[in-house]
Structure formats: structure tokens, C-alpha cells
Amino acid sequence: MDNVMAPVMEKIPGDFMHEPYRLYARLRHEGPPREVIMPNGVKVWMVTRYNDVRAILTDPRISKDGRRINELFARHSGATEEASSYDDELSAHMLNSDPPRHERLRKLVGKAFTARRVELLRPRVEHIADELLDRMAGRPQADLIADYAMPLPISVITELLGVPVEDREPFRLRASTLVGSHHSADDVAAASVAVIDYAGRLIEAKRSAPGDDLLSAMVQVRADGDRLTDGELVAMVFLLVAAGHETTMSTLGNAIHSLLRNPDQLAKLKADPDLLTTTAFDELVRYDAGVSLATFRFTTSAIPLDGVTIPAGEIVVVSLGSAGRDARRFADADRLDLTRRINSSLAFGKGLHYCIGAPLGRMEVEIAIGRLLSRYPDLRLTVDPTELTWKPSNLMHALVALPVTLSATM
């Protein structure tokens, strides 16, 4: 098949995460993967259709080698800030690795980060959610991002890792600086040094006096005579905190926002809370994914896809948010339907980089929404939806705040 002519390259506006779905709909309609310039100035190939996204996520010609992609950032942007702000020690985790290193890291981490360990956290997640909801009691209004969606996942992940209570807030702030998009290179570099230093000291503490936590388990885990090095442990601490905090916070905030914007579906969920653990969660993350764009990848050889060819050595961005709204895959895709049954959701990725923390994120969101609606069934937005603002980000579709009016049952 002859390649179709590529459209004129466009620059993605810096505020596109305020309403990404209009852009995604246009790009899907216009055709196959195409070159665009991201708000940070990096030229990438953006993939928006469901079948194309799935194909890229599972294509062995796609690499996530962190060191190599730094070179490509420099080549495709003329600026090195994005590539050089992180310390290499933090970047050397399994999300930025290819086989065989990826399989080795995932095997070792997977022996510690088990389904049983996640399930044992359920009572603590419920307790943390209830504590946060208790703090709202008696107040007419609350910000469900600052008061609920942000503190819940960071409390869970730092507890899972065994971070002492007194260290959790400063550690959260430093980790947030590393994954935010509005911080200077100097701030990111300083936070990088601080996170590496703290994680190193925490690892030594767990080695000397192991506890019943994930980091202690990762320090001790062995497989076929292999074990994680200190550098790999530091990188995994950063990855788990960043992924376990920012992504779950965004997913939870977006899910609550979607319910409040769709009162018929909110009423359906309140009438049948069991929907949360059957179909509702998958539909909520399909409808408005917290991770709108997956982390950057690049081609190791030319890839023909949907009538075009992405050359070797090109950065590729796959839109999980766009894939979830593709009418070729989902009927009436722009409508929220909590009874929709979804097969092959891409919200947590696909293939070898499928999110290892997906079961934990799912459990947190299900518990958080269930507890919230049980405690405050008359919850409603305080402001007009058009007044809500979204974080400036190259990857996340995340609310800055979600102001609501509370009405507690006694």
C-alpha cells in the first residue's frame, strides 16, 4: 500500500490538556499517526486511534531505553532540559528499560509486589479514606483533589514502601516536583538529588532492620541468584511513588468529576454500588483517563502503520485517552455508561509495560469512590464546570482542584 501524504505538522497548544478530547477526535478523523510538535517543543509522532495505539504498545520495534531517548529528545527539540533534568539514577527503572533488562527487573519487583501484598492493604486503604472523609465532616465545601484524591494515594504508597510517617510529606513534595511539568530545571535537579539521597538512606535502614513493607521485600528479594542493586532500588522507589501517586490521584479526581458531570450515571452507581467492582471502574478510566498520553517511546526501525510509515529513530507518543474515545472500538464513545462491558482496556497500557501497580490503583479508586458516595451522597460541584482548571502537563489529564458542596448523612 502506498503511504498517504502526511498533513502539515502542527504545534499542540500548551493548554490542550484542558480539553484534549476535541483535539483527539480531530486527529482520529484526519487519519493515521502524524507528526506534531508537543508544547515543550519536542517533535513526535502522535498515535490516536485505538487499533494503532494497541499495535504500538505491543510492537517489539518500539523501545523505551531511557538513555537513548535522551539523545532523541535533544535531536528532535534542540533543547536538553527535558532529557537532562532527571538524574540518570532515577531514570534507570523498568519503565525506561527494554528486554532483557526489563524482564529481569519486573521479575524481581514482581516477587515482592504481589497481589497478596496489595490485598492486605485493603483495610488500610479503607481506613485512610475514612479518615480523610472525617476531616471534611461539618464543612459545607471541600476540594476533592487537595482533601481527598491527592493525600489518599500518597499515604497508601508511602505506607506500602515503609516510609516513616514524619518523612512522607517532604518526600511527596520532592517526588511531585520530579513529575510535574511547571518546575524549573534547577528545581527538578535539586529534587532529584534529594530523592536519591533519601531513598538511599531508607534502603540502608530497611536492610539493617527490615519490616513488613514492600521496600524491605524488594531489598531482600532474590531470583535465580539475582537481586536488585541499590541503584535499581532507588529508581524503583521513585517510579512507585511517582506512578502510585500522580496517576492514581488523576484517575480518582477525573472519575469523581465524570460522575458529577453525568448525574444519570451517578444515580445509577448510588443505586447499585456493586457496579464499582464489575463494570464502572473500567468505564470511568476509558471515558476520562488520568494518564492521557503514555510515556514517550521511540522506533528502533521503520514501522508501517495504518497507511503511513514511522521512520526509525522517531519519538512516538500514544494517546491512551484518545484510544478510549475511539468510536471504531466503543459505540457512542463520548457517552459515559457505567454498565458498558469493556474488553482489552488500554488505560493501564498493554504488553510488557502494562502497569504493575494497576491492581493497587483500581482498589484505591474503587474504595475511595464507594466511601465518598456513601458518606456524602448529595455531593455536587460548587462551580460551573467551565471554571475548572487542568494541570499543564505533557502526559496527564488532571484537575488542579475539584471544589464540591458536601451534604453528609448522619
Inform me whether the pLDDT recorded for 7 exceeds 60. Answer: no
Which one is predicted more confidently, 334 or 92?
334
Coil, strand or helix at 305: strand
Which one is predicted more confidently, 11 or 74?
11
- Orientation of helix 151-161 relative to helix 358-375, angle to 10°: 140
pLDDT at residue number 238: 83
Q: CA 348, CA 358: separation in Å to the nearest integer?
A: 7
Pick the range with the lowest mean pLDDT from 160-174, 294-308, 311-325. 160-174
pLDDT band at residue 63 using 50, 70 and 90 as cut-offs:
very high
Coil, strand or helix at 380: strand
Q: CA 94, CA 102: separation in Å to the nearest integer?
A: 5
For residue 10, report the phi and psi dihedrals to the nearest 5 degrees: -120, 155
Inform me whether the pLDDT recorded for 335 exceeds 60. Answer: yes
Matching CATH number, 10-405, of 1.10.630.10, 1.10.645.10, 3.20.20.80, 1.25.60.10: 1.10.630.10
Rounded to an integer, the average pLDDT of 217-221 is 94
Which one is predicted more confidently, 144 or 92?
144
Q: Which of 53, 43, 45, 48 has the alpha carbon at shortest distance from 27?
A: 48
pLDDT at residue number 37: 94
Q: CA 157, CA 301: separation in Å to the nearest integer?
A: 38
What is the per-residue pLDDT across 134-164, written as a single tens digit (0 to 9) for each?
999 989 999 999 999 999 998 899 899 999 9
Please confirm whether the linkage preceding 99 is cis (ω < 30° from 0).
no
Q: Which of 145, 2, 121 has the alpha carbon at shortest distance from 359?
A: 121
pLDDT at residue number 399: 96
DSSP strand pairing (315-318 vs 43-47):
parallel
Coil, strand or helix at 303: strand
What is the per-residue pLDDT across 266-291, written as a single tens digit (0 to 9) for each?
999 999 999 999 999 999 999 998 99
User: Where are the chain's structural domains?
Assistant: 10-405
Most confident of 92-106, 182-196, 234-248, 364-378: 364-378
Q: CA 74, CA 258: separation in Å to the nearest integer?
A: 38
Q: CA 202, CA 183: separation in Å to the nearest integer?
A: 26
Q: CA 154, CA 250: separation in Å to the nearest integer?
A: 12
pLDDT at residue number 89: 61
Inform me whether the pLDDT recorded for 317 exceeds 90. Answer: yes
Question: Torsion-angle region of residue 351: left (phi > 0), alpha (psi -120 to 50) or beta?
Answer: left
Give yes or no for a contact between 235 and 89, defined as CB atoms under 8 angstroms apart.
yes
For 258, residues 6+ apart whose C-beta sits below 8 A from its C-beta are 265, 284, 287, 288, 336
DSSP 95-145: GG--TTHHHHHHHHHHHHS-HHHHHHTHHHHHHHHHHHHHHHTT-SEEETI
pLDDT band at residue 180 using 50, 70 and 90 as cut-offs:
low
pLDDT band at residue 123 using 50, 70 and 90 as cut-offs:
very high
Inform me whether the pLDDT recorded for 2 exceeds 50. Answer: no
Read off the pTM.
Answer: 0.91
